[in-house]
Amino acid sequence: MALSKQPLKPYGDQLVQLVQQHLPQDQPLVVYLEAGHFDPRFTDPEDLEFARESLQGAIDLGNNLVVEHRDRVRLVFGILVDNLGLNCGDQGCSIKPGAGTFNAEKDPLPAELEALLVASPLVKRNRVMLHDERNAKNRAIEKLRRKLKSNVANLVRVPSADGNKSEVFFRKDTPDEVLLANIAGDSWSAQCPLIMGQHYVDVFDALDHRYRGSNREVYPKMVIDFSEQMDRQKVTRGSQVGLGLFLPPTSLPHHIVNVCFWDPQGDRYDLDHFSANLKADE
């Protein structure tokens, strides 16, 4: 079936322009579109409005990118499942009980999201990447432990006054230091930016395995992640951590674009663009 351009909302038009600005001249750009974010405890239709709208918007965006740029873009769709139930705020993050029952490798998606994926001639359902926050959390803590042992310059561990607890901060080219974890004895509590930073690097790793150039060098990559406005701090700081702390040295461009909806339809939104050197385009 031949694809034709679809009408996009303003955020979609802005993203098309952003992709155009960063298309390499001599190789494709891998564009990963992550939308449909949902909490598996809440899958009634009214709870999935943002998930539906963002996923359909991502599909329409991907459609237009393929129509306009064809082989210059390698398109991948993905969904991140909130199976931690994270509460995020200025004072830190907490995990809500009962959210960790979803397994992204075994459990089905909500029927409404599944229907959108299956209905699209652009999406190959068996190629959609599914990630979940719980797995990212476990990997993130282990990676942070190793980096602290290696005395990475951008990490600072600050003990409490009594010495029984400590906090780990990331400090590099960010307006404020980013709290990554709380430590009490042998217990490590990961904060949202640490989990999201690990998730974004997981995505880059998965794309590396899927797409490689003729000389085995991976292509430049752009992650476009759709979130709700209440998660803007969580995802933008996660972008900074992923690119500035977890991403291995690379000569290839790596981008993360956080699109945060103020309303379920995305009529109002914020867009933050980060590249591997942590310079943000507001």
Listed in sequence order, the residues at least 6 apart from 99 whose beta carbon sits closer than 8 Å to its beta carbon are 39, 40, 41, 82, 83, 84, 85
Q: Phi, psi (5° rounding) for residue 154?
A: -85, 0
Residue 217 confidence (pLDDT)? 61
Q: What DSSP state is assigned to residue 267? A: S
Residues in the chain: 282
Residue 281 confidence (pLDDT)? 42
Residue 29: which of 78, 80, 65 has the closest Cα?
Answer: 65
Residue 211 confidence (pLDDT)? 83
Q: Are 144 and 206 a contacting pair, CB within 8 Å?
A: no
**Along the chain (282 residues), what's the average pLDDT of each consecutive run of 10 residues?**
88 97 92 94 90 97 96 95 68 55 79 94 93 91 92 86 86 78 90 95 93 70 97 94 90 94 96 72 40
CA angle 133, 138, 139 (to 5 degrees): 95
Q: Rounded to a whole number, what is the distance in angstroms from the first to the last CA of the chain?
A: 37
Residue 30 confidence (pLDDT)? 95
Residue 216 confidence (pLDDT)? 58
Q: How far is C-alpha 37 from the chain's CA centre?
A: 10
Query: What's the CA gap between 201 and 140, in Å, rounded?
Result: 10
Residue 89 confidence (pLDDT)? 53
E strand or H helix at 193: helix 192-210
